[in-house]
Amino acid sequence: MATVRLTPGVVLVTVPDRGLAVRTPDGTFLQVNTGTVDEAALLAHLTDGGPASPELAGLARAFEEAGYTTRTPAPAPLGGRTVVVLGDAGLTGPLTRCVRDAGATVRHDLPDTPDARTAVVWCLDRPAPEGIWDRADTLPAHGAAWLRCHREGAHAWLEPLACAPGDVTSADVRLRRLAATPAHRELAAYWAGSATPDEGPPHTEASAALTAALLTGDLLAWAAGAPPAVRRRLRRIDLRDLTVTEHPVLPVPDVAPLDTRR
């Protein structure tokens, strides 16, 4: 029989002169009436797998029925998933640690035939060169998840997670950003490399850790079903003060080719 343990997020609190209380994952405190059961024995049973008397077993069963204990180990949130991490080492290092800690298998090469349990994350500590992500933009059409970020000067851009046909790709983000600025010619030239080298400020350990955490959060959302809000969210980190701003973004619909006869 599996050992009973507290459900993740549930905490038992010993309150002076009031006995035990349960802190639920949402932060609510509930007082526990232990009756004739010794509080120390209950704590030992629920935290260390200590023995249970018949009276204690009944109280422990009530905890289990309420969902405050479980007999199965908590699954790793990215268990059974493969995350391909590509890009610059200052960002891929912390991201690799985060996704491995969440249970994912990490690779550093783009697979020929990605599947629905594979995510590709590409991180650049510099502007994204023209065309670098064209092939990866096709990943969602095959069911794989696609996530990317890059830096432009003092700003890091985290683009929306794409995991299904019709989701926002890097090409969509570029078109939307060009449409949103009067300096679209200048921005297009900047992306095309017609500029002096973009030397900084580069990512710091703090901004890289923040970027890795936000990307990992998107991967956890993907593993849990990826709601539309995650797949329509463009984020920008100001590397000078670590301020994060969000902007909604939609895919660009296909249009008929322009009739050159007119």
Euclidean distance between CA atoms 156 and 203, whole angstroms: 8
Question: Are 216 and 176 contained in the same domain?
Answer: yes
Structural domain including 52 reads 5-70
Question: Are 105 and 46 contained in the same domain?
Answer: no
Euclidean distance between CA atoms 27 and 46, whole angstroms: 19
Question: Are 27 and 107 contained in the same domain?
Answer: no
Domain end (from 26, 50, 70): 70
Question: Are 66 and 92 contained in the same domain?
Answer: no
The pLDDT of residue 259: 55
Nearest by Cα to 32 from 44, 18, 49? 18
Question: Are 45 and 166 contained in the same domain?
Answer: no
Euclidean distance between CA atoms 210 and 35, whole angstroms: 47
The pLDDT of residue 74: 66
Number of domains in the chain: 2
pLDDT tens figures, 38-54: 888 888 888 776 777 88
The pLDDT of residue 194: 84
Question: Are 66 and 94 contained in the same domain?
Answer: no
**With 50 as the cut, is the pLDDT of residue 122 above it?**
yes
Least confident of 137-141, 162-166, 218-222, 257-261: 257-261
Mean pLDDT of 145-162: 97
**With 50 as the cut, is the pLDDT of residue 119 above it?**
yes
Question: Are 36 and 144 contained in the same domain?
Answer: no
Dihedral angle computed from the Cα positions of residues 124, 210, 9 and 2, in that order, rounded to the nearest 10 degrees:
40
Query: Residue 261: inside a domain, yes or no?
Result: no
Q: What is the mean pLDDT of the chain?
A: 90
Give the angle 45-46-48 at the CA atoms, nearest 5°: 65
pLDDT tens figures, 67-118: 888 877 767 999 999 999 999 999 999 999 999 999 999 999 988 888 999 9
Query: Residue 140: inside a domain, yes or no?
Result: yes
Domain end (from 17, 47, 70): 70
Mean pLDDT of 171-190: 93
CATH number of the domain to which 126 belongs: 3.40.50.720
pTM of the model: 0.76
Query: Residue 138: inside a domain, yes or no?
Result: yes
Query: Residue 256: inside a domain, yes or no?
Result: no
The residues facing 12 across adjacent strands are 22
Phi, psi angles (nearest 5°) of residue 179: -70, -20
Mean pLDDT of 140-151: 96
The pLDDT of residue 1: 42
Query: Residue 102: inside a domain, yes or no?
Result: yes
Dihedral angle computed from the Cα positions of residues 157, 150, 178 and 244, in that order, rounded to the nearest 10 degrees:
10
Question: Are 135 and 42 contained in the same domain?
Answer: no
Question: Would you place residue 255 in the very low, low, confident or very high pLDDT band (cuts 50, 70, 90)?
Answer: low
Query: Residue 77: inside a domain, yes or no?
Result: no
